[in-house]
Structure 1
Amino acid sequence: MSSSRTMPAADTAWLRMDRPTNHMVITSVMTFDEPVDLDRFRALMQERIVDPFPPFRRIVTAPGPLSAPRWADDPDFDIDLHLHRIALPAPGDRGALEALVGDLMARGMERERPLWDVHLVEGLGDGCALVVRMHHCIADGIALAQVLLTMTDAAEPDPSAVERPARPGRRLPLGPLAGPVGALAGLGRDAASALLHESMRTVVHPARLLELGREARDDATALLTLLTVPSEHETLLKGEHGVAQRVAWTPPLPLADVKAIAHATQTTVNDVLLAALSGGLARYLADRGETEDELCVMVPFNLRPPGRPLPANLGNRFGLILLALPLGDRPPGARLAEVHARMRAIKDSRQPAMSYAILGVMGRTPARVQAWVMDLFSAKSTAVVTNVPGPREPVRLAGVPVREVLVWAPCAGSIGMSVSIFSYCDHVTVGVMTHASLVPDPELLADAVTAELGALGRATAQPSS
């Protein structure tokens, strides 16, 4: 039975962000030390992803220039049109795989089919790799990682854990600013519902007035921050870029070493990894005669309630935080302390919820208006940095142990770099995607991040005087 549904506004915004130099496609790489059987993988993909999650068998339709896009069942859906079996070019090592992944990232998606594909790459030594690509309008990167892990032996799906699509009109978690922001985008119904809800709560609980006042202040501060952060100036990492992309990643790094640094400095694992990235960026620039005191990055922030299963229709449910990474000529310990202080300052920020609301507004505006807003915000950032925690124990896919996992968010607007931090099986891997015209050698940047993490370890291991 055919079905059709209107695409939510935030997902529509991601659909319309595609540009020839930046396709809004999330890319995941999984590597294996043994071959993966394609027939067994196809059966897993069908049973655990295509069947439970409708967007993987739906196409995007546009009823008219002023109408919202819709999801509709693909009457000619064939899973084999999305599964590609290819051989890794010589010499069949990680460098060859990195080059292949970079080439795939530069490709867009055919709008006539469901917006995803998988490449089974054979000939990676004695093993293989899976390169999974999915358009951002289907779901965010955190959701994609969860979906992929439903195919692994350690993440058997529970049929009861797949929600039915939520009813439309659900109120955004923005407190008193949800009404005004929504009204500007034609969200009168949602705003009226939110206003009635808050009015009833205030009548029953008068103290809610004080809470609303605090929320209004915090929302206003978050919006002001997002609007007033200055644009990044051109550097070796930020500027005009072409289509060609490059990818590289570190070997799996022991998570125990990262935790030891965090424990010794009373910081967090996330602080340590961001400090290593900051130092790696500083090293890369310094080796090329350029010094920057700081660079701003966008960090996705999951807005889904913890422990809740993914909805069947997936979608995007995340916001963004603008974080200034400390670069310059800082000692590793001082850099880590600065990252920790900055992360604490934005820990309870309303930026994620506010940026999610802005995405919803963008999805309801004309495409030219959205492009202008996207240029405004992407100019404020040099890179996108995602940090996704994976399984702590080894997992198997189609009976084969998974060695590595990486998930890259796409670069929107004028952003030219995406950094993936993925922890799995007591190790963490840092992957860098760059545009070749800006950073033609991302492997050196990955090496610089590894070197900075080592410097942090040595600095914290030294006895205090």
Structure 2
Amino acid sequence: MRAMDRLSGLDASFLYLETPAQLMHVCAVMVLDPSTMSEPYSFARLRDDIDDAVRDVPEFTRKLRRVPLGLDHPVWVRDKGFDIEHHVHRLALPTPGGYAELAELTAHLAGQPLDRSRPLWEMWAIEGYDDGERDGLVALFTKMHHATVDGVSGANLVSHLCSLEPGAPPMGAGQDHGGFGREPSRPELLGRAVVSTATRRPLTGVKLLAPTGKGITRTIDRARRGTAMAAPLTAPRTSFNGTITGHRAIALADLSLEEVRRVKNATGTTVNDVVLTVAGGALRSYLEDRDELPDSSLLATVPVSVREESRRSGGANKVSALFTRLGTDLEDPLERLEEMSRSNRNAKDHHQAISADSLQDWAEFAAPRTFGLAVRAYAGLRLAEKHPVVHNLVISNVPGPPVPLYVSGAQIRALYPLGPVFHGAGLNITVMSNNGRVHVGVIACRESLPDVDGLAQRFPAELSALAAAVTGRSLAVVADPERADAD
């Protein structure tokens, strides 16, 4: 049994960042085909199968316990009253039960906060979905707080629900999940918090000063040589770069993974280069049609997993971030891909020169009360509209399963991931590959970007335009075989 499970500073930061408008959970729309099930679909069976799969997994059955006086980050403790009925719910999709109804319903669910008195996740089985090819589908809408998962760990948690064959047990079955942390007493929590505040934090701060100073010096040098990643606070302002509300809008799109790879291989770029280029083209087209296209390129924050490089053993979130320009100022898609490939190489090299744990290390200084008050003041004073734009949006690219997966015997037809949106950046685009397809999940503040579907549906057309440009010119953007083989 593990000792007390204290949240890492980065995990806890997602709790402190949360307000009624800025919700810090990650979501997904998982479209299930019940025709592959050995028995006719029933919600009760689906709920019982999920219960069996997650009951011994700490990430699904632990809850928060706050430290007295907010002196330290919260701890995870086992929910002794865990009840699957508090977490898995059932809804019927309104008539006619198509894409528009699904998008509206999931957007409403995404705008509701999670109950912090229980484990921080929910699932909604939305029955009666018709995706245009098949009716009678079930859309499983999932929500899990960012304090519990990042992109990679979230994808790994899916294995606890999914199997490789309809009748097989979930891939996570039988794994050693490490047990649950011992629940500490109130005096113990207070004592540990006092010791941490008095000793560890000051020492950690001193240790961080030298490497941080070196990192700043190297960044200045890279900027002089033109090899630094794009800088924050240099983004142009758009209609979705202001103070957000708690309302959400969701849109979904699909791309061919084969076509993405064909472009990648023909140009010597990467899947990520192609995805970001397509996103840049979709945003350019969307803003141009609304007479809102800035002269300079939009700037995206791209989360990067540092799970392999991190020296830290604890914490759910092991991420860093890089900034990249999306080439929205470039009309030619091939020219945009060329610029994207070059800037991504610089950004990757720059990012690798920074400690993998730097974001986690600095996040340890996030004081619960101070951080929370600062976030609320920032939103209340609408400061996101008064200083230079830090970044325009967040874009994530998460590798998914290359083979069919099943939940309770039902095949997953599509898996659309959805990340959080922030004050100052009310748009999030998350992309995941799945069994030969690329699923695009777009979520935004409804008031900031009301026609979110008008953006999402441009992705397939932009990929086709890029593929046509590559075929027409027969031109390799980057003569680098190693990048051509990379995903």
Distance across 1 between alignment mates of 2:309 and 2:416:
22
Is 1:13–2:23 an aligned residue pair?
Answer: no
Tell me which residue corresponds to 2:192. Answer: none
The Cα shift of 1:379 comes to 4.3
Give SS of 2:415's match: strand
Question: Which aligned pairs between 1:42-441 and structure 2 lie closer than 5 A?
Answer: 42-54=47-59, 56-125=61-130, 126-154=136-164, 156-157=171-172, 159-160=174-175, 162-163=177-178, 187-188=201-202, 217-218=214-215, 220-221=217-218, 229-230=232-233, 232-251=235-254, 253-292=255-294, 293-305=296-308, 315-350=316-351, 353-362=357-366, 366-367=370-371, 371=375, 379-441=389-451
Tell me which residue corresponds to 2:133. Answer: none
Distance across 2 between alignment mates of 1:416 and 1:97:
21
- Indicate conservation of the 8 Å contact 2:150/2:319, yes or no: yes
Mean alpha-carbon deviation: is it higher for 297-306 or for 157-166?
157-166
Distance across 2 between alignment mates of 1:448 and 1:226:
27
Task: Give a deviation string over 1:139-196, Cα, whole Å, max 9, x none.
Answer: 2132112101332112612644645689xxxxxxxxxxxxxxx99995345579999x
Q: Which amino acid aligns with 2:32?
A: F
Q: Which amino acid aligns with 1:229?
A: P
Residue 368 to residue 76, structure 1, CA distance change in 2 (3 Å): closer
Distance across 1 between alignment mates of 2:362 and 2:3:
29
Task: Give a deviation string over 1:358-404, Cα, whole Å, max 9, x none.
Answer: 33333568225763899789941111111111110111111111100
The Cα shift of 1:37 comes to 3.6
- Indicate conservation of the 8 Å contact 2:5/2:75, yes or no: yes
Distance across 2 between alignment mates of 1:45 and 1:378:
45
Residue 278 to residue 284, structure 1, CA distance change in 2 (3 Å): same
Tell me which residue corresponds to 1:30. Answer: 30
- The alignment-based identity, stated in percent, is 26
- Indicate conservation of the 8 Å contact 2:229/2:346, yes or no: no
Residue 106 to residue 250, structure 1, CA distance change in 2 (3 Å): same
Q: Which amino acid aligns with 2:159?
A: L
The Cα shift of 1:61 comes to 2.9
- Indicate conservation of the 8 Å contact 2:58/2:180, yes or no: no
- Indicate conservation of the 8 Å contact 1:363/1:370, yes or no: no
Distance across 2 between alignment mates of 1:186 and 1:370:
24
Distance across 1 between alignment mates of 2:199 and 2:310:
31
Q: Which amino acid aligns with 2:370?
A: P
Distance across 2 between alignment mates of 1:398 and 1:417:
33
Residue 46 to residue 378, structure 1, CA distance change in 2 (3 Å): farther
TM-score, scaled relative to structure 1: 0.82
Mean alpha-carbon deviation: is it higher for 440-449 or for 415-424?
440-449
The Cα shift of 1:315 comes to 1.6
Mean alpha-carbon deviation: is it higher for 118-127 or for 70-79?
70-79
Distance across 2 between alignment mates of 1:28 and 1:285:
26
The Cα shift of 1:430 comes to 1.3
Residue 55 to residue 431, structure 1, CA distance change in 2 (3 Å): closer
Residue 240 to residue 9, structure 1, CA distance change in 2 (3 Å): closer
Task: Give a deviation string over 1:107-152, Cα, whole Å, max 9, x none.
Answer: 1112222211110110102111101101111121321121013321
**Unpaired runs of 5+ in structure 2?**
36-40, 131-135, 165-169, 182-195, 476-487
Distance across 2 between alignment mates of 1:96 and 1:420:
21
Task: Give a deviation string over 1:412-445, Cα, whole Å, max 9, x none.
Answer: 3332011010100011011211111121111110
Distance across 1 between alignment mates of 2:241 and 2:23:
17
Distance across 2 between alignment mates of 1:139 and 1:454:
34
Distance across 2 between alignment mates of 1:418 and 1:305:
25
Distance across 1 between alignment mates of 2:18 and 2:278:
31
The Cα shift of 1:92 comes to 0.5
Tell me which residue corresponds to 1:173. Answer: none
The Cα shift of 1:272 comes to 0.6
The Cα shift of 1:464 comes to 4.7
The Cα shift of 1:71 comes to 2.0
Residue 381 to residue 271, structure 1, CA distance change in 2 (3 Å): same
Distance across 2 between alignment mates of 1:382 and 1:193:
33
RMSD value, Cα: 3.6
- Indicate conservation of the 8 Å contact 1:50/1:57, yes or no: no
Distance across 2 between alignment mates of 1:70 and 1:130:
29
Distance across 1 between alignment mates of 2:360 and 2:2:
31
Distance across 1 between alignment mates of 2:373 and 2:56:
36
Residue 71 to residue 464, structure 1, CA distance change in 2 (3 Å): closer
Q: Which amino acid aligns with 1:26?
A: V
Mean alpha-carbon deviation: is it higher for 69-78 or for 95-104?
69-78
Number of residue pairs matched by the alignment? 431
Distance across 2 between alignment mates of 1:300 and 1:50:
30
Tell me which residue corresponds to 2:483. Answer: none
Distance across 1 between alignment mates of 2:198 and 2:66:
26
